[in-house]
């Protein structure tokens, strides 16, 4: 096997069970349980075992029954219980892997559910960034960014978020911001419905001030940032410059601006471990312990890893259906275009297979094959049958790869 992201293409041997050494030439006898993974032999001639979930011991022969107890005492809301390592110094006997929408030691806390819908006149990009801002007294606001992709057939999405927040901004890929949520007091485990309208867009200062004002030093011009809030009154909720984002709010009988630092050029790369192909850009939601990654594809490329190309093709399945197949969604919930294509493919395969088999039986005759036309018809029958099978395989490979 070859090391990833290694310019020298250095490789190593990953041995099958029962073999060890640099080139997997040294046999050994494994004493691990049958459902474990035997990694080799230690210096003391003892098997090194990797145990499955809820089993432990030097040879993975002991069973931890903590997760077989009453589920009300372990993980809630469908969380997966994993027994803790007996060598860990901890009072916790198990760990819960929570399903989407829940957090907590036992998955007992529901995430905040934010349902975002976009007005039809808003032109959406392939992906959007969602910035969560937490206001902290006597400290700079804390920013956390995640991202989502939006299907071509939908103009809404659901975001589950477990961290505290007071502001939510939506950023399209061409640096257009919308104010989505504003709450003075954070409430946990709530559902927020928000329709994003064109009036929620944060304007750049170029739209609010003349060019002379924009060219001024930031310390000289920022003291005038209250003026747009007063001039446009309730029609302006936020605006931004190259260094800040400002909110318009009511204070007494005045409408003022409240600004905070915001890095518009922040990039979340994948720390050199990009899986994106064809020069696609790799993004992660957070730099430390990221939970999600996404590829932003260049022109004429698409797919979860930018692995498909629409250039140089005529009527290709990849080019026709690639944009319509929604990842991580079952066939039942796919778009009508995908369902129709699936139905037509099944019909073509059944009819083509029956036609190919019957033609093969008909022309596989010694009398017919004595002349050139007979051989041609026999070869055409075989070609038709193989083409039908290959077409069906290609369609299903495309569906499975995209989903």
**pLDDT tens digits for range 116-141:** 999 988 888 777 889 999 998 888 89
Nearest to 327 by CA among 148, 161, 124, 146: 148
Helix (H) or strand (E) holding 88: none
The two most distant CA atoms of the chain are separated, in Å, by: 101
pLDDT of residue 306: 86
Residue with tokens 């922040």: 266
pLDDT of residue 182: 93
pLDDT of residue 324: 74
As a CATH number, domain 64-110 is: 2.10.25.10
CA distances from 381 to 347, 356, 386 (A): 18, 5, 9
pLDDT of residue 4: 61
Q: Average pLDDT by consecutive 10-residue portion of the chain (403 residues)? A: 68 80 83 85 82 86 82 82 71 83 87 92 84 90 84 81 92 88 90 93 92 90 92 87 93 90 80 81 72 77 81 63 72 82 90 88 81 83 89 86 74
pLDDT of residue 163: 85
Boundaries of every domain in the chain:
1-62, 64-110, 116-261, 331-402
d(CA 59, CA 40): 12
d(CA 88, CA 213): 61
pLDDT of residue 204: 93
Exposed / middle / buried, residue 314 (Cβ in 10 Å: 0-12, 13-18, 19+): exposed
367-393 tens-digit pLDDT: 877 787 878 888 888 898 899 899 888
**C-alpha dihedral sign at 243, 248, 254, 260:** negative
Question: pTM above the 0.85 mark?
Answer: no
């Amino acid at each position: 096997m070859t090391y990833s992201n290694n310019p020298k293409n250095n490789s190593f041997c990953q041995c099958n069970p029962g073999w060890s050494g640099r080139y997997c030439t040294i046999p050994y006898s494994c004493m691990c349980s049958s459902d474990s993974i035997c990694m080799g032999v230690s210096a003391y001639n003892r098997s090194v075992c990797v145990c499955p979930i809820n089993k432990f011991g030097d040879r993975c022969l002991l069973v931890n029954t903590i997760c077989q107890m009453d589920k009300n005492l372990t993980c809630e809301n469908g969380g997966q219980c994993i027994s803790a390592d007996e060598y860990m110094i901890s009072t916790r006997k198990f760990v819960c892997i929570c399903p989407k929408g829940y957090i907590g030691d036992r998955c007992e806390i529901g995430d905040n559910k934010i349902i975002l819908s976009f007005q039809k006149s808003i032109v959406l990009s392939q992906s959007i960034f969602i910035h969560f801002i937490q206001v902290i007294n006597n400290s700079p606001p804390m920013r956390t960014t995640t991202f989502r992709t939006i299907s071509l057939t939908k103009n809404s999405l659901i975001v589950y978020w477990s961290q505290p927040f007071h502001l939510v901004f939506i950023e399209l890929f061409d640096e257009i911001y919308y104010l989505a949520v504003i709450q003075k007091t954070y409430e946990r485990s709530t559902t927020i419905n928000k329709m994003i309208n064109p009036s929620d867009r944060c304007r750049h200062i170029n739209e609010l001030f003349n060019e002379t004002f924009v060219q001024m030093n930031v310390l000289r011009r920022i003291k005038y940032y209250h003026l747009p809030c007063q001039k446009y009154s309730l029609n302006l909720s936020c605006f931004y410059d190259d260094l800040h984002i400002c909110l318009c709010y009511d204070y007494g009988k005045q409408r003022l601006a409240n600004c905070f630092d915001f890095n518009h050029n922040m990039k979340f790369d994948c720390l050199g471990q990009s899986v994106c192909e064809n020069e696609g850009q790799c993004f992660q939601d957070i730099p430390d312990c990221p939970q999600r990654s996404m590829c932003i594809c260049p022109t004429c490329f698409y797919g979860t890893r930018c692995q498909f190309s629409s250039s140089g093709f005529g009527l290709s399945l990849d080019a026709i259906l690639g944009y319509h197949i929604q990842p991580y969604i079952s066939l039942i919930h796919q778009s009508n275009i995908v369902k129709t294509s699936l139905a037509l493919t099944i019909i073509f395969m059944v009819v083509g297979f029956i036609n190919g088999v019957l033609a093969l039986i008909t022309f596989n005759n010694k009398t017919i094959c004595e002349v050139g036309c007979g051989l041609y018809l026999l070869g055409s029958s075989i070609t038709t049958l193989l083409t039908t099978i290959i077409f069906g395989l290609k369609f299903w490979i495309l569906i499975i790869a995209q989903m």
